[in-house]
Chains A and B, each alone.
Chain A
Amino acid sequence: ILNVEQSPQSLHVQEGDSTNFTCSFPSSNFYALHWYRWETAKSPEALFVMTLNGDEKKKGRISATLNTKEGYSYLYIKGSQPEDSATYLCALISSGSARQLTFGSGTQLTVLP
């Protein structure tokens, strides 16, 4: 079983605060890393697909970085808004012939107005 870990498990921040979450994974199994946002009563939606060490991706106020050598990725949200409240999932696509997509348990973010 591939061990993809996310921290913290949950987080409450005030509107306007900036925040970040961590995803760690076994670097020897790395092929690609995904970040998803999962809002209540909806399906998960992809934020970023990251494949190269040192990758930095940005979408509006959300950005992500990747370190494949040490096996971690950070997701940053600048100036959090209540609509950012959701569970943020990272997922590892493993190397090798079978491209397994394994999810971490997620970080549940609540932005308080």
Chain B
Amino acid sequence: DGGITQSPKYLFRKEGQNVTLSCEQNLNHDAMYWYRQDPGQGLRLIYYSQIVNDFQKGDIAEGYSVSREKKESFPLTVTSAQKNPTAFYLCASSANQGRAFFGQGTRLTVV
């Protein structure tokens, strides 16, 4: 089945540690996106990529990093510089600015 897969579903991190969230798609989409959702708020754009080996900062990129070495994969690293990393993270992909397809999300908790 074609789709977009995020892992893990739940993730716990100690303060001061980096952690990487996985996002894989087999839809042959060029564009991929990472969003963050906090309670009572909408989806805020962290990073996005329109093509392999290229990506741009979104509205809240500080404390995050990404890579796009393969078309299928767009991992997000939450670094220790992110002051408030506890949130729900959603990955999405799209083709030619068409509708976006979303993963199931990763809930990150800092303990």
Which positions in A face B, CB cutoff 8 Å? 1-2, 6, 31-32, 34, 36, 43-46, 49, 89, 91, 93, 98-106
B80 located at the interface, meaning its Cβ lies under 8 Å from any Cβ of chain A in the complex: no
Given A43-B105, A89-B43, A102-B59 contact (CB < 8 Å): yes
Q: Tell me the interface secondary structure of chain A in the complex.
A: strand
Which positions in B face A, CB cutoff 8 Å? 31, 33, 35, 41-45, 48, 50, 56, 58-59, 90, 92, 94, 97-105
Q: Return chain B residues, CB-CB under 8 Å to A103.
A: 35, 42-45
Q: Return chain A residues, CB-CB under 8 Å to B94.
A: 101
Apart from A34-B100, A101-B92, A101-B100: 4 A-B pairs, beta carbons within 8 A: A44-B100, A44-B102, A98-B50, A99-B97
Q: Return chain B residues, CB-CB under 8 Å to A31.
A: 97
User: Is there contact, CB below 8 Å, between B100 and A99?
Assistant: no
The smallest C-beta distance from A13 to any residue of chain B, in angstroms, reads 21
Across the interface, name the chain A residue whose C-beta is closest to B45: A102
User: Is there contact, CB below 8 Å, between B31 and A99?
Assistant: yes
Q: Return chain B residues, CB-CB under 8 Å to A102.
A: 45, 59
Q: Given the complex of chains A and B, what is the CA–CA distance between A104 and B35 in angstroms?
A: 12
Q: Return chain B residues, CB-CB under 8 Å to A89.
A: 42-43
Choose one: A34, A36, A93, A98; the contact of B56 (CB below 8 Å): A98
Q: Return chain B residues, CB-CB under 8 Å to A98.
A: 48, 50, 56
The smallest C-beta distance from B28 to any residue of chain A, in angstroms, reads 17
Q: Return chain B residues, CB-CB under 8 Å to A32.
A: 97
Given A43-B90, A99-B31, A34-B99 contact (CB < 8 Å): yes
User: Is there contact, CB below 8 Å, between B45 and A100?
Assistant: yes
User: Is there contact, CB below 8 Å, between A101 and B50?
Assistant: no
